């Protein structure tokens, strides 16, 4: 799955049905697999060692109020005494006060923002925000960088200086010559991942779920309270499937469709189609505010304004850095988060009036972020390529994406190029876990979803709701922001608070919230931007 900066095989290590249905120590009597034995060993060690909290490394960019530590996990759970890696963990302690009243601590709330490839070490910072203060009073807020991310045994597939090709083209209907260039680039990238990372086959959703159980043990929690966003919902659901008795409460915010046949090729096609709808939502909003932006009075007029800018950048990149590829990436972010709408529209308007500076500021690659972007993309590629079978014949990709681009041109091919290294991936592929729990096996869980979310289309939340027994689904109607927990919708936040603080779910395990207010139009070209998940 593609994120705002970097998104969300047949043979190899197959996940046996017995393993998925019955992790180590289950009542079935099925002997644990070597991997599950390794999880038990690693968790026991982590529980005994705990986490030594101290000042966060400067590289994390966190204030003194946040403390950091590490958790040691096996690179390969089938060999727990073999090579081990350290995961970076961050935390703020529960404040134990809310609205001037004492509040009982409820343990640790662990968060993952998705990706794959995103770090959640910033998460403890949300505790100062009004929407999170009640939760921060009751819980230690815990974030971490999953394996491969940041300082957690980082992956890299190419020199970061070569990662951002800027300026670049982004044809919505590429010709054969362009396709051949991208095939060659995808093959080279896949080779680079293998060459630079000898243990790359161990970077998988299954191992992310296993790492989460080791982290639970290191925190001293008998049962886990977890919130995952985007891809974080998928490996959270895998965790719930593998370790239902280890779950206390789980929140799934903007859920990936967990059906095994969707992981990951079909999910990415569905995502591209959903982004076309969200792209139309943005253009409808801009047209509604034509008096501010002068980009057109209809969505089609706005599209023509965008295409005019796109054509101009193809001829002469803005600032020598912003071509059609960078333009598309910048406006893809508007598909994730509608709080980008005013600044993106203002930048487009300014460019057409002869001022390219706002667009350059918003769309040009940031050299200081090159290493982080390359690292995130490497982890994304490794996890998604390792997780499942992908078509290995480009003819399949060409057919499916050419057909889709006829009705959804905005993101289709850009998404395909990002995932194409998986067609040439040489590491063993896994069989995706058949996510699901029998009635009564899992404590009640909460799913949050926006009806017009593009990154994780709404049908994914419904599928997860169907598969996790006792789960409840809260829907933000007619809205499309990706990641809605702790956002501007008070109705959504009331359900989040009720669940995390009291364990209460909506009546009949379903609730509907009116959409949050649309952003106000503005000619400002800059806005404060918080860290974003997948």
| Options 289, 482, 495, 516, the catalytic residue | 482
From residue 501, alpha-carbon distances to 139, 223, 227, 324, 506 in Å are: 9, 15, 13, 46, 14
Strand order in the sheet with 107-112: 54-55, 67-74, 84-92, 139-144, 107-112, 224-230, 247-255, 446-450, 472-476, 510-513
CA dihedral 465, 468, 471, 472 (to 10 degrees): 0
Is 482 among the residues known to form the active site?
yes
Burial class (CB in 10 A: 0-12, 13-18, 19+), 52: exposed
Residues 387 and 205: beta-carbon distance below 8 Å: yes
Residues 432 and 263: beta-carbon distance below 8 Å: yes
Is 159 among the residues known to form the active site?
no
Cα(103)–Cα(7) distance, rounded to whole angstroms?
38
| Options 156, 230, 272, 305, the catalytic residue | 230
**Length of the chain measured in residues:** 534
Per-residue H/E/C for 291-338: HHHCCCCCHHHHHHHHHHHHHHHHHCCECCCECHHHHHHHHHHHHHCH
Side-chain half-sphere of 50: how many Cα atoms within 13 Å?
4
111 backbone φψ class: left, alpha, beta (φ>0; ψ -120 to 50): beta
Burial 341-360 (b: 16+ CB within 10 A, else e): bbbbbbbbbbbbeeebebbb
List Cβ<8 Å contacts ≥24 apart for 180-185: 182/417, 182/420, 183/394, 183/420, 185/417
- Beta-bridged to residue 111, according to DSSP, are 143, 227
Residue with tokens 């080791």: 214
- Is the peptide bond preceding residue 135 cis, with omega within 30 degrees of 0? no
| Options 253, 387, 414, 453, the catalytic residue | 453
Cα(518)–Cα(521) distance, rounded to whole angstroms?
9
Is 230 among the residues known to form the active site?
yes
Angle between helices 412-419 and 324-336 (to 10 degrees): 100
Beta strands in 177-315 (DSSP E): 224-230, 247-255
Query: Taking every pair of C-alpha atoms in the chain, what is the biggest distance, in angstroms?
Result: 72
Cα(66)–Cα(93) distance, rounded to whole angstroms?
9
**Local structure of residue 483 (DSSP, 8 states):** -
Q: Which residues are catalytic?
A: 230, 453, 482
């Amino acid at each position: 799955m593609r994120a705002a900066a970097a998104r969300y095989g047949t043979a190899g290590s197959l996940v046996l049905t017995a393993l998925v249905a019955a992790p180590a120590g289950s009542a079935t009597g099925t002997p644990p697999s070597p991997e599950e034995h390794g999880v038990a060993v690693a968790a026991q060690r982590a529980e005994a060692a705990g986490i030594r909290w101290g000042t966060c490394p400067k590289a994390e960019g966190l204030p003194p109020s946040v403390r950091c530590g590490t958790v040691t996990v096996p690179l390969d759970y089938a060999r727990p005494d073999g090579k081990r890696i350290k995961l970076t963990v961050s935390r703020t302690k529960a404040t134990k006060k809310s609205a001037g009243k004492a509040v009982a601590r409820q343990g640790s709330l662990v968060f993952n923002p998705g990706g794959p490839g995103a770090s959640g070490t910033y998460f403890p910072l949300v505790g100062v925000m009004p929407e999170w203060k009640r939760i921060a009073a009751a819980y230690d807020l815990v974030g971490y960088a999953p394996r491969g991310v940041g300082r957690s045994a980082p992956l890299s597939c190419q020199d970061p200086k070569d990662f951002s090709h800027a300026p670049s083209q982004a044809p919505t209907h590429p010709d054969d010559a362009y396709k051949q260039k991208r095939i060659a680039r995808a093959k080279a990238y896949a080779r680079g991942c293998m060459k630079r990372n000898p243990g790359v086959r161990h970077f998988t959703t299954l191992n992310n779920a296993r790492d989460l159980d080791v982290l639970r043990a290191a925190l001293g929690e008998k049962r886990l309270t977890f919130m995952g966003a985007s891809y974080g919902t998928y490996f959270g659901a895998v965790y719930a499937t593998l370790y239902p008795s280890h779950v206390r409460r789980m929140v799934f915010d903007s859920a990936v469709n967990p059906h095994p046949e969707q992981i990951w090729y079909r999910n990415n096609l569905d995502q591209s189609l959903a982004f076309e709808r969200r792209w139309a939502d943005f253009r409808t909003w801009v047209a509604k505010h034509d008096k501010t932006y002068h980009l057109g009075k209809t969505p089609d007029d706005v599209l023509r304004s965008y295409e005019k800018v796109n054509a101009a950048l193809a001829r002469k990149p803005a600032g020598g850095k912003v071509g059609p590829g960078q333009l598309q990436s910048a406006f893809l972010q508007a598909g994730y988060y509608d709080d980008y709408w005013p600044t993106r529209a203002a930048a487009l308007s300014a460019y057409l009036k002869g001022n390219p500076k706002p667009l350059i500021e918003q769309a040009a690659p940031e050299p200081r972020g090159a290493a982080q972007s390359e690292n995130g993309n490497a982890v994304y590629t490794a996890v998604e390529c390792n997780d499942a079978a992908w078509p290995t014949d480009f003819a399949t990709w060409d057919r499916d994406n050419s057909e889709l681009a006829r009705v959804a041109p905005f993101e289709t091919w850009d998404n395909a190029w990002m995932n194409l290294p998986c067609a040439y991936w040489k590491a063993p592929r896994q069989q995706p876990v058949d996510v699901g729990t029998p009635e009564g096996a899992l404590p009640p869980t909460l799913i949050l979803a926006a009806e017009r979310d593009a990154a994780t289309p709404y049908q994914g939340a419904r599928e997860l709701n169907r598969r996790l027994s006792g789960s409840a689904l809260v829907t933000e109607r007619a809205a499309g922001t990706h990641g809605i927990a702790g956002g501007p919708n008070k109705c959504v936040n009331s359900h989040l608070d009720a669940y995390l603080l009291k364990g209460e779910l909506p009546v009949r395990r379903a609730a509907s919230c009116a959409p949050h207010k649309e952003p106000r139009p503005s000619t400002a070209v800059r806005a404060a931007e918080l860290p974003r998940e997948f």
